Structure 1
Amino acid sequence: MTFAPRTWVVGEIVSAALMNQEIRDQLNSFYGAWTAYTPAWTGSTTNPVLGNGTLIGRYMKIGRTVICEMNLVTGSTTTYGAGQYGFTLPAQAAASGVDAEGSARLTAGATYIGQAFIISGGTSMSAAFPTAATPANAGNMTPTAPATLAAGHIMRLSIVYEAAS
């Protein structure tokens, strides 16, 4: 990950080690491997329980820009909780007054295409899917919307946002 650049002082002797740290290492961090994390899955009323499902996330942070992907596969012992779903982020979003939007895809018998979103300053992302074909209104994802979740259903979310720090 990138870090704050050094503040140089007049008369300071620049060494190869400092140049490597300040230039090479910063540039290499842009091309490094993504970092894995385990998002928490929450419901606004009752939290789901993953059981034997899988929930993985990964992200790349460049400066304060975060690129985040998450993949949920429900299992036969997964329980779905109640209320609108949220998935924790690897870093809190900046309180910029602007919400971030990304993509969401749910495969649950049919395939549903929606939006992932983070409210300004948020610590989790949610998904919204169309509630009908026309007009194209959207509603937040719940255990029964846009489809009743069951074992083997897959949801993928991806988003780019500005981190708080």
Structure 2
Amino acid sequence: MTTIPRTWASGEIPGGATFNTEIRDQWNSVLDSWTVWTPSWTGQTTNPVLGNGSLTGRYLKVGRTCHVQIELVMGSTTTYGSGGWLLSLPFAAAATGNRIGVAHAFQSARVQGQLVIAPSATTGLLFFPANTNVSFLSLASATAPVTWASGGRIFITLTYETAT
């Protein structure tokens, strides 16, 4: 956990507890292991249902910089909802700037895409080419970029600035 470094007074002699808080604990947050979390998967019209698929995420937050990895695996009882897909973030995004993460879909083809995060957003919009024959991007859905089925996978990696 990072904290705001303190302001030192002229002539102050810090003790062990102060050094631990101001130096050791700050470095521990930089060198810490990643935190596991479960993202939410939603649709713009109706929500998908994960069923026996899996959705896992992990992140490493250093200050206001958050590194994220998400893996979505479709199961035989997964349903795909309707409308474009959104995935939740572990922390709300900062109020300025857009961020773009890299996404990779694998079903009947391998397709590169993006997770786009708007300012102050708590979710990212998942974009891929509308199908494997075009290069322009569309929101990922039950049939874009492929018709999803059991065993289909989406991997996402991104780094973004958090609001806090």
Normalised to the residue count of structure 2, the TM-score between the two structures is 0.93
Please name the residue that 2:123 is paired with: 124
| 1:41 lines up with 2:41 in the alignment | yes
Q: Aligned in 2, Cα 1:8/1:37: closer, same or farther, shift over 3 Å?
A: same
In structure 2, C-alpha distance between the alignment counterparts of 1:12 and 1:58, rounded to whole Å: 40
| 1:162 lines up with 2:145 in the alignment | no
* Residue type of the alignment partner of 1:94: A
Please name the residue that 2:98 is paired with: 99
Report the more deviating stretch, 41-50 or 133-142: 133-142
The equivalences for 1:58-69 within 5 A come to 58-69=58-69
1:54-95 deviations in Å (ceiling 9; x for gaps):
000000111101111100001111111111100110000011
Please name the residue that 1:23 is paired with: 23
Please name the residue that 2:56 is paired with: 56
- Equivalent residues of 1:118, 1:124 under 8 A apart: yes
Please name the residue that 1:145 is paired with: 144
Q: Aligned in 2, Cα 1:93/1:149: closer, same or farther, shift over 3 Å?
A: same
- Equivalent residues of 1:75, 1:151 under 8 A apart: yes
How many residue pairs are counted as aligned between the two chains? 164
In structure 1, C-alpha distance between the alignment counterparts of 2:46 and 2:133, rounded to whole Å: 31
* Residue type of the alignment partner of 1:29: S
- How far did residue 11 of structure 1 move? 5.8
Report the more deviating stretch, 5-14 or 16-25: 5-14
1:120-141 deviations in Å (ceiling 9; x for gaps):
1110112211236776311111
In structure 2, C-alpha distance between the alignment counterparts of 1:10 and 1:39, rounded to whole Å: 46
In structure 2, C-alpha distance between the alignment counterparts of 1:16 and 1:63, rounded to whole Å: 23
* Residue type of the alignment partner of 1:46: T
* Residue type of the alignment partner of 2:114: Q
Percent sequence identity over matched residues?
46
Please name the residue that 2:83 is paired with: 83
* Residue type of the alignment partner of 2:66: V
* Residue type of the alignment partner of 1:139: S
Normalised to the residue count of structure 1, the TM-score between the two structures is 0.93
- Equivalent residues of 2:130, 2:139 under 8 A apart: no
Structure 2 alignment gaps of length 5 or more = none
**RMSD, aligned CA:** 1.6
- Equivalent residues of 1:117, 1:159 under 8 A apart: no
- How far did residue 7 of structure 1 move? 3.3
In structure 2, C-alpha distance between the alignment counterparts of 1:83 and 1:126, rounded to whole Å: 11
In structure 2, C-alpha distance between the alignment counterparts of 1:120 and 1:163, rounded to whole Å: 10
